[in-house]
Structure 1
């Protein structure tokens, strides 16, 4: 077998060769950390292509595609060119297959021209995919050197359904080695950076999607989430997303880490720059009856009644619980301000916001993280041993790493080194998790005594992460998100504001919860995070996708009115 470094080098060269030479831009200097305006300024995109790619509302894009005002070929070409700009700036892509995608777009244009009918609800829309979603004839590397050269024989179910819905899959995006990082770096493709500040991470494990969508190189992407992998990059990159409950959307055929671990299921979800994109994608996939292709998907059709919030007072006078501090890590000042803005916006819109009291958070966190490492790290080591590449131990860069006391994730202090559990030992963790879920549900239901609506709180609002995008190697905590995976709570993320150096001043020290809380407090510097997006998450009940989408739309509209 070739040396793993040679394998990685050859794959990276092949990726570069797949980019049309005329799409190579003159790069800005490395000292330019914010590259959000490069697509407008670099000269590669025509005025019409800029108009297309600056159209962030997915509903508007689809209307123009379905009316033939814009062809799928020109929309796909525009986003492809912009995605290649994003690749050069942030290293966000893995597989690039220009002619294949454009041929799909041409076929869709021809069908619409001949029949006057669209193929499906996503007709003509280019969609990016995290590098887990297998596509027939393409490699699925997933951040492992040993997986280079693995060509898929079939499309995974979500890709199959996207084709049926008329979509145009056009790029795949970067992930971290093992997937189980809140950042994005591997030996094959390298490190993905955040276009708002390339010294900061876009998050992970769907970090390639986050960076690509932030710079508008795709109108809609598909990622996955087992501990925050949709929500962390969406919060760091100013995006909307939905983390659905277990088995609501089809996962079959996609590759994964920790395959066979089904106590805390990984789920797929959309990432986009508009709430319309979240709803349109989710409804389109559910309307395609995915349970006929994936035996694990619940036979649960899209419910307009649930979307109209029939179990939540019809969306009138909602009551939200605000989680200001989860008792593990206190949020940085910009997150605190985002929560205050959201509370004020909701109250101005006639809704109620009460404080949410954390319930057994450390127990839930420890249980979930212990389940994740119940194999003692065997899965990661086995995949790396196939090529001889080392298991990545840190996401910090070898050069110019930001100095911080955040040397190790808090979970290592809580769980210790990975221990290979017996089957019986794992069963005990599953048993404990069920009890914790019941206890949390009862705690939620008791809020009926405080809401004044005659029902428990409708949803929780909290940070998705305690901070905005951080320097590479320093995204150590994921409990605000992992809580929802462990309890299987449907969750969205929505953008609120940006870090403002004039407002988000460092605060005096507080009584620290633990070492990590203290280290994260010391990390905060207004200048370091200046201009970063600030997002929050909305946490609903299990299997409440329709209601969570509707409540997120209510919050998004309230914020627009309030800030106007």
Structure 2
């Protein structure tokens, strides 16, 4: 389809680029998949998900395929046994993603027509051989904007990088496609990528489909949003400070941040200097609809031996098998700042359920998360964000409010000596965490995913509950557990702040505004013990979400 030329009279040049990009997006959604004015819910509607069942765009069968009856693992089995064709499944998810995008603005590079053609080829092979192409045969996937797909932009939300199609596809995408996966779209991110939000001048702001007035999180916020709308069976995000886990928690889906060296990142579309992935390394990982989906995707990728094309991937570290056990669980109730009442309740209830199920549960006190965050904040801004500054200046586009609000934009450049000192502090904190973990005799940590549930857009400015595990390089998994409930989670009338930041965080809590917001828990394992953590998480999830 050819995009209709938007009227850009009187707009700044960057605004014209934005308008052209949005017109291109719209042209990639078939007319018959577009919502009519009467399909849109009234202003103020909290939960946007029911629209998919009332708009008439999906058939009953397509609603079944994309509904809660299936996770990616069971859907792959249904396709492999011939219950559904790849075209049926991919078309259903493309339609659902189209509806979700029109309501939540969570997609970037839409690939629906290419995806359906890919699905036709998979069906052809299946008809000829009677066998699926691979473990992911026919599974519709989405990828965060910061990956390359040949022929599509990889702007990362920078105006200066739009309408410049990638000349190659990121190896991880090639890997999953060789195993039968079908990539249907990329998903939205924040400007600079260093924000727990998903807002940029290219694509605009993404909504949370579960609680539409609250943030979808970031930086993999488009992934979290489309996953919550069930417009994708499996997604891939990246995480350097919580960018998989914050959106997973905010939108009520599952997410996994691996240890560095588990999954391949080579050839992704970096949002900063390509060689900067050092002090606190970014990793990629899955978002999905079940704990087993996270293990499923990881197993498929590791079985393809990605260390043969990515020198950062560690061979054989997940090839020894994991034991079935009841891990000893250390519980972090708070560190660095006081969680809001729904988060405190979730941790308390989760710990109690696990204890009642026969798990050994004990309190665990880690190094101060606030101190860890102070170090990571400086490591993220060693160059005073010179790359995003240059990209914004190149196009004359403004800084979006959430980038200003998180507090990184005005941090000055560090000297080499200051950078070395910061890395030394990080190493000392890693040693302290290791020692405390060993002394406690624990296998897995149960901790908050953040100091709060989803908050108003732009207000998630404290990542200490997630970035701590990036700094330690420990694998971490988010599982949804409960929802904020004003009756169960009243304001804490006797709250005494530990410091100014603690007071600021607690002031964000509004029981009525956050009612219904997903509340997740975070499960963490030792560095490079990812295989065992993924197995433990499935056992824990079976108890918490029985």
- TM-score range normalised by the length of the shorter chain: over 0.9
* Distance apart, 1:301 and its partner CA: 5.2
Contact 2:372 2:464 in 1 (8 A): no
- Does 2:275 match 1:260? yes
Of 290, 296, 305, 2:312 maps to: 296
* Distance apart, 1:423 and its partner CA: 2.5
**Which digits, 9 at most, give the CA deviation of each residue in 1:32-91, with x for residues without a partner?**
122121111211110100000003322210111111110010000000000000001100
Deviates more, 1:116-125 or 1:167-176: 116-125
User: Take 1:417 and 1:3, find their aligned partners in 2: how far apart are those partners?
Assistant: 26
Of 445, 454, 477, 1:469 maps to: 454
**Corresponding residue for residue 492 of structure 1:** 477
Structure 1 stretches of 4+ with a deviation exceeding 6 A read none
What's the TM-score, normalizing by structure 2? 0.94
**Corresponding residue for residue 282 of structure 1:** 298
User: Take 1:340 and 1:438, find their aligned partners in 2: how far apart are those partners?
Assistant: 28
Matches within 5 A, 1:347-426: 347-394=355-402, 408-409=405-406, 417-426=410-419
User: Take 1:14 and 1:30, find their aligned partners in 2: how far apart are those partners?
Assistant: 26
**Corresponding residue for residue 311 of structure 1:** none
**Corresponding residue for residue 7 of structure 1:** 17
Secondary structure, in 3 states, of the residue corresponding to 1:172?
Answer: strand
User: Take 2:57 and 2:370, find their aligned partners in 1: how far apart are those partners?
Assistant: 50
Secondary structure, in 3 states, of the residue corresponding to 2:507?
Answer: helix
- Does 2:539 match 1:546? no
**Corresponding residue for residue 321 of structure 1:** 330
* Distance apart, 1:551 and its partner CA: 1.4
User: Take 1:388 and 1:293, find their aligned partners in 2: how far apart are those partners?
Assistant: 38
- Does 2:440 match 1:440? no
Q: 1:147 to 1:123 in 2, by over 3 A?
A: same
Secondary structure, in 3 states, of the residue corresponding to 1:270?
Answer: strand
User: Take 2:121 and 2:137, find their aligned partners in 1: how far apart are those partners?
Assistant: 11
Contact 1:183 1:202 in 2 (8 A): yes
**Corresponding residue for residue 41 of structure 2:** 28
- Does 2:76 match 1:51? no
* Distance apart, 1:14 and its partner CA: 0.9
User: Take 2:70 and 2:356, find their aligned partners in 1: how far apart are those partners?
Assistant: 27
**Which digits, 9 at most, give the CA deviation of each residue in 1:229-286, with x for residues without a partner?**
0000000111111100112111111112333221211100000111121111000001
**Corresponding residue for residue 241 of structure 1:** 255
Secondary structure, in 3 states, of the residue corresponding to 1:271?
Answer: strand
Contact 2:148 2:154 in 1 (8 A): yes
User: Take 2:178 and 2:240, find their aligned partners in 1: how far apart are those partners?
Assistant: 27
Contact 2:156 2:271 in 1 (8 A): no
Matches within 5 A, 1:30-179: 30-54=43-67, 55-179=69-193
Contact 2:21 2:202 in 1 (8 A): yes
User: Take 1:528 and 1:279, find their aligned partners in 2: how far apart are those partners?
Assistant: 34
* Distance apart, 1:395 and its partner CA: 6.1
**Which digits, 9 at most, give the CA deviation of each residue in 1:119-150, with x for residues without a partner?**
11111111011101101111111110011012
What's the TM-score, normalizing by structure 1? 0.91
User: Take 2:143 and 2:253, find their aligned partners in 1: how far apart are those partners?
Assistant: 16
Deviates more, 1:431-440 or 1:344-353: 431-440
Contact 2:146 2:271 in 1 (8 A): no
Contact 1:243 1:491 in 2 (8 A): yes
User: Take 2:339 and 2:304, find their aligned partners in 1: how far apart are those partners?
Assistant: 40
User: Take 1:551 and 1:423, find their aligned partners in 2: how far apart are those partners?
Assistant: 41
Of 481, 486, 511, 1:526 maps to: 511
- Does 2:424 match 1:431? yes
**Corresponding residue for residue 405 of structure 1:** none
**Corresponding residue for residue 509 of structure 1:** 494
**Corresponding residue for residue 271 of structure 1:** 287
User: Take 1:483 and 1:153, find their aligned partners in 2: how far apart are those partners?
Assistant: 36
* Distance apart, 1:319 and its partner CA: 1.6
User: Take 2:136 and 2:151, find their aligned partners in 1: how far apart are those partners?
Assistant: 23
Q: 1:519 to 1:429 in 2, by over 3 A?
A: closer
- Does 2:353 match 1:345? yes
Contact 1:286 1:301 in 2 (8 A): no
Matches within 5 A, 1:445-456: 445-447=438-440, 456=441
Contact 1:27 1:88 in 2 (8 A): no
**Which digits, 9 at most, give the CA deviation of each residue in 1:322-342, with x for residues without a partner?**
11111x221111111111221
Give me the CA root mean square deviation.
Answer: 1.6
**Which digits, 9 at most, give the CA deviation of each residue in 1:75-113, with x for residues without a partner?**
000000000000011000001122211111000111011
Secondary structure, in 3 states, of the residue corresponding to 2:446?
Answer: strand
Secondary structure, in 3 states, of the residue corresponding to 2:429?
Answer: helix
